[in-house]
């Protein structure tokens, strides 16, 4: 059963903050990132991927980026999720998800184990808890919890890309947040809607 009490981590892994930095720099340029750094009041200009940072820095950077770009934070976070599984620099992230199953439904059922699989790759990386709940035929709820509000929107971006990756037609909706718990509604309309993107176990596969 999903634990409503979310375990608080004392520090945010640098990989998470670095991915936000990379998203802003790749899509908007370093000048915009510099503006985000200034708005967030950071005392440095770059995050180091393998360091840890105080939890408060991550929402501060997200809020600053949303302000500088004049975009809702939820929309920005969904774009970051999309970026993480489409940008070639983060191919390892896509592979982490694709190892979850041979089709989109298998992939969905594997999400409960995603935090544990992520820790196999990076032992001190703590992702938010996830729980998939199967409802009626082809309908699911994904329960997301975490220290950073809005992680469910990141998962929305990831799920949209992964549905395409598997060639599935899926309808996704963010159903809201209560007490730090976000719920995503997923309807799998057609599992084999289109040809999926090639994936193989070998590290060189693209």
DSSP 113: G
Contacts of 169 (CB under 8 A, 6+ apart): 163, 188, 189, 190, 193, 194
Other CB atoms closer than 10 Å to residue 122's CB: what's the count? 13
Tell me how far apart the alpha carbons of residues 178 and 162 are, in angstroms, rounded to a whole number.
Answer: 26
Classified as helix, coil or strand, 37 is helix
In tens, the pLDDT along 125-151 reads 777 889 999 998 889 999 998 666 789
Q: Look-up: residue for tokens 């001190």?
A: 124
**Which helix (H) or strand (E) segment is 33 a member of?**
helix 30-40
What percent of the chain is predicted at pLDDT more than 90? 55
In tens, the pLDDT along 160-202 reads 999 999 999 999 999 998 888 999 999 999 876 666 565 555 5
Residue pair 161/181 in contact by the 8 Å Cβ criterion: no
pLDDT band (50, 70, 90) for residue 23: very high
Q: Look-up: residue for tokens 């963010």?
A: 174
* Mean pLDDT calculated for residue range 57-65: 95
């Amino acid at each position: 059963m999903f634990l409503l009490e979310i375990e608080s981590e004392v520090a945010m892994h640098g990989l998470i903050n670095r991915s936000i930095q990379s998203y802003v720099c790749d899509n908007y340029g370093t000048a915009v990132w510099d503006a985000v750094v200034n708005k967030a009041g950071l005392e440095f200009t770059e995050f180091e991927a393998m360091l840890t940072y105080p939890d408060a820095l991550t929402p501060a950077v997200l809020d600053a980026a949303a302000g500088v770009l004049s975009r809702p934070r939820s929309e920005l976070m969904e774009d970051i999720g999309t970026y993480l599984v489409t940008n070639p620099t983060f191919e390892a992230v896509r592979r982490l998800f694709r190892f979850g199953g041979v089709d989109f439904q298998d992939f969905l059922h594997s999400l409960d184990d995603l935090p544990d699989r992520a820790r196999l790759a990076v032992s001190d990386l703590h992702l938010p808890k996830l729980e998939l709940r199967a409802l009626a035929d082809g309908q699911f709820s994904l329960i997301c919890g975490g220290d950073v509000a809005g992680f469910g929107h990141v998962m929305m971006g990831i799920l949209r890309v992964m549905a395409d990756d598997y060639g599935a037609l899926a309808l996704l909706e963010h159903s809201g947040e209560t007490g730090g718990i976000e719920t995503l509604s997923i309807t799998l309309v057609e599992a084999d809607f289109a040809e999926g993107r090639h994936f193989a176990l070998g590290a060189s596969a693209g």
